[in-house]
């Protein structure tokens, strides 16, 4: 699915007067009333799920305190601090260019240009500790959706409650603070539709709570539960699931209209100078699917059906340097470091993964969707609490009517298989190995059958 569709926002949503046919570039300059657009987007997305019309909560709640976000330079310097000038920029609408060059620039791309996405710089990832600051209600709370009108709020004089938060993967600037226990993720029509469909699905207990579409600073966001909220100094790990991390459509488009990207070339040579072909070296560019395939081959996506994207430990240590973490042994080591050989945590994780596995096998949603780029988010803390959640449905795509997937057979172009279940099984085996190493025996964990299946990644 083209990114300009997946990440449609209020400003390129195909709403009356903002249709893609009119050209998104010129449309982006159109001044639109965003709260009205969010309402329309919410209603439009809600149409996919009959039950959601009543289930959608009121999103414009005047009692909410004004949220803001500060990104602090913690965790090995893999984050940045949001400055006052960032907020000033919001007044003239350039904030999102400075803070979120990735999803937003793709959102703003025109249909004609976006053969394989237009994210053409290498700052597209935000990886690090983010301190979300929820302003304390001083008794004169203002409707938070009006933040754009009070962007010069005297930040230093306002009482705040800091909430440590981490964004381990994904696009820079995609998240903002909301009221306590919740966060905002940049709107994607595709993701909203998935959440709407998931309201009635067996997977519901394993996805973040979804509270509708809201507007802030003139943009629309998904309002969802902050999965870290109930943990005390959590340890967090993001594992991207599947053997394939790009959509078949992206492959087709790149073939029809190849668009080498310099930012992806730079990311590739940074990890492996021998990665690009001589032609790619000479043009200093690689196409998106080519980069994604290379990422899958360098990491464990192809060999295990999942890969580690990032980890953050309770002490603030943050790691995202896993692009070459490929062998099962290497993956086991990362998990060992993450759980500290705590067998009880490992057992909790395995038990939760087993529940997820069962739910996936009965889920109508899962059966009828190609699940690409989705992650399992592992979270545990010193109290012994350990959970796993399914996150990121930005590239999860409905199959044509009547078509279903197995999720554990080899991908060949056209069959749209993603290898999700195969990856999950390997992930469980990996955790079992970690448990076995911790106990020094073979009895740690679940009695899962040996996984002998291989996914044919050669077709990529």
Ligand X SMILES: O=P(O)(O)O[C@@H]1[C@H](O)[C@H](O)[C@@H](OP(=O)(O)O)[C@H](OP(=O)(O)O)[C@H]1O
The residue ranges that bind ligand ATP (CB under 6 A) are 166-171, 174, 183, 208, 224-228, 236, 238, 373, 375, 377, 391-392, 394
Q: Which is nearer to ligand ATP, 195 or 435 (CB)?
A: 195
239 interface partner picked from ligand ATP, ligand X, none, CB below 5 to 8 A per type: none
Task: Give the integer Cα–Cα distance in Å for 176 and 182.
Answer: 9
Strands in 301-436 per DSSP E: 306-312, 318-319, 369-370, 375-380, 386-391, 397-398
Residues 224-263 that bind ligand X (CB under 6 A): 245
For residue 68, the partner it binds in ligand ATP, ligand X, none, with Cβ less than 5 to 8 A by kind, is none
Q: Does the footprint of ligand X cover residue 18 (CB under 6 A)?
A: no
Q: Which is nearer to ligand X, 231 or 265 (CB)?
A: 265
Helix axes 288-298, 262-271, angle to 10 degrees: 20
Confirm or reject binding of residue 301 to ligand X (CB under 6 A): no
Per-residue CA distances from 413 to 117, 148, 249, 288, 460 (Å): 20, 46, 10, 16, 8
Among ligand ATP, ligand X, none, residue 174 binds (CB under 5-8 Å by kind) = ligand ATP
* Ranges within 391-410 binding ligand X (CB under 6 A): 394-395
Q: Toward ligand X, which CB reaches closer, 288 or 416?
A: 288
Question: Is residue 288 part of the contact set for ligand X (CB under 6 A)?
Answer: yes
Among 128-136, 156-164, 228-236, 288-296, which window interacts with ligand X (CB under 6 A)? 288-296
Q: Are 248 and 397 in contact (CB under 8 A)?
A: no
Nearer CB in complex with ligand ATP: 146/352: 352
**Cβ atoms of residues 247 and 414 within 8 Å:** no
Distance CA 138, CA 159 (A): 8
Which x/- pattern, by CB under 6 A, does the window 172-211 give for ligand X? ----------------------------------------
Closest approach of Cβ 90 to ligand X, in Å? 22
Burial grade of 356 (CB within 10 A; 0-12, 13-18, 19 or more)? buried
Task: With H, G, I as helix, E, B as strand and everything else as coil, classify residue 243.
Answer: coil
> Residue 408's binding partner, choosing from ligand X, ligand ATP, none, with beta-carbon cut-off 5 to 8 A by kind?
none
Tell me which residue has tokens 């056209």: 414
Options 8, 176, 244, 295; binder of ligand X; rule CB under 6 A: 295
| Closer residue to ligand ATP, CB minimum distance, 56 or 444 | 56
Beta strands, E only, 82-193: 128-135, 160-167, 175-177, 182-186
Beta carbon of residue 238, minimum distance to ligand ATP (angstroms, whole number): 4
Strands of the 67-70 sheet, one edge to the other? 67-70, 128-135, 160-167
User: Of 175 and 349, which CB lies nearer to ligand X in the complex structure?
Assistant: 175
52 binds, among ligand ATP, ligand X, none (CB under 5 to 8 A by kind): none
Q: Which does 375 bind (CB under 5 to 8 A by kind): ligand ATP, ligand X, none?
A: ligand ATP
Which residue's beta carbon is nearest to the bound ligand ATP? 170
Nearer to ligand ATP, 7 or 416 (CB): 7
Spatial CB neighbours of 7, under 8 Å, sequence gap ≥ 6: 103, 106, 107, 186, 187, 188, 189, 190, 394
Residues 6+ apart with CB under 8 A from 203: 359, 360, 363, 365, 366, 390
The closest alpha carbon to 375, from 391, 351, 357, 398, belongs to 391
Indicate the residue among 135 and 168 with the shorter CB distance to ligand ATP. Answer: 168
Closest-by-Cβ residue to ligand X is 119
CB nearer to ligand ATP: pick between 287 and 375: 375
Please, which residue, 219 or 432, has the CB nearer to ligand X? Answer: 219
Binding residues among 348-377 for ligand X as defined by CB under 6 A: 373
By CB under 6 A, the residues from 108 to 137 that bind ligand X are 117, 119, 124-125
Q: How far is the CB of 279 from ligand ATP (least distance, A)?
A: 27
Asked if 357 contacts 424 with a C-beta cutoff of 8 angstroms, the reply is yes
- Residue 295 binding result from ligand ATP, ligand X, none, given CB thresholds of 5 to 8 Å by partner type: ligand X
User: Considering only CA atoms, which of 82, 80, 90 is closest in space to residue 126?
Assistant: 80
Give the count of beta carbons closer than 10 Å to the beta carbon of residue 361: 12
∠ CA 376-381-387, nearest 5°, is 30
Contact set with ligand X (CB under 6 A)? 102, 117, 119, 124-125, 245, 267, 288, 292, 295, 373, 394-395
């Amino acid at each position: 699915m083209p990114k300009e569709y997946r990440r449609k926002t209020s400003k390129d949503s195909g709403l009356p007067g903002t249709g893609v046919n009119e050209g998104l570039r010129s449309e982006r300059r159109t001044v639109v009333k965003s709260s009205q657009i969010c309402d329309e987007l919410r209603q439009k997305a809600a149409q996919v799920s009959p039950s959601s019309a009543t289930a959608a909560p009121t999103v414009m709640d005047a009692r909410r305190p004004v949220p803001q976000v500060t990104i602090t330079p913690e965790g090995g310097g893999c984050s940045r601090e949001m400055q006052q000038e960032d907020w000033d920029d919001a007044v003239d609408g350039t904030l999102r260019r400075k803070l979120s060059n990735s999803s937003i620039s793709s959102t703003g791309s025109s249909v004609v240009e976006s053969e394989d996405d237009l994210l053409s710089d290498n700052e597209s990832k935000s990886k690090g500790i983010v301190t979300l600051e929820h302003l304390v209600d001083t008794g004169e709370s203002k409707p938070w959706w009006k933040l754009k009108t009070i962007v010069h709020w005297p930040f230093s004089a306002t009482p705040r409650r800091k909430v440590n938060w981490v964004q381990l993967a994904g696009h820079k600037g995609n998240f903002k603070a909301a009221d306590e226990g919740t966060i905002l993720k940049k709107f994607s029509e595709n993701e909203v539709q998935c959440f709407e469909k998931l309201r009635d699905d067996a997977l519901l207990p394993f996805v973040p709570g979804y509270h509708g579409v809201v507007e802030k600073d003139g943009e629309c966001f998904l309002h969802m539960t902050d999965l870290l909220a109930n943990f005390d100094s959590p340890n967090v790990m993001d594992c991207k699931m599947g053997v394939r991390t790009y959509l078949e459509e992206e492959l087709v488009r790149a073939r029809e209209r190849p668009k080498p990207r310099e930012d992806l070339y730079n990311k590739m040579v940074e990890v492996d100078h021998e990665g690009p072909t001589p032609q790619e070296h000479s043009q200093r560019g690689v196409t998106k699917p080519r980069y994604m395939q290379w990422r899958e081959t360098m990491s464990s996506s192809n060999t295990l059906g999942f890969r580690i994207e990032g980890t953050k430990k309770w002490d603030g240590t943050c790691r995202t340097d896993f692009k070459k973490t490929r062998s099962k042994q290497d993956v086991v080591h990362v998990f060992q470091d993450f759980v500290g050989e705590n067998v009880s945590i490992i057992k909790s994780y395995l038990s939760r993964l087993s529940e997820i596995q069962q739910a996936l096998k009965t889920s109508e949603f899962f059966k009828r969707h190609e699940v690409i780029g989705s992650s399992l988010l592992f979270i545990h803390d010193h109290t012994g609490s350990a959970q796993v959640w399914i996150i990121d449905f930005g590239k999860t795509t409905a199959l044509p009517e009547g078509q279903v997937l197995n999720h554990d057979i080899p991908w060949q172009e056209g069959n749209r298989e993603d290898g999700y279940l195969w990856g999950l099984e390997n992930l469980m085996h990996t955790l079992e190995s970690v448990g076995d190493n911790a106990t020094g025996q073979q009895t740690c964990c679940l009695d899962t059958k040996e996984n002998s299946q291989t996914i044919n990644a050669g077709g990529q």
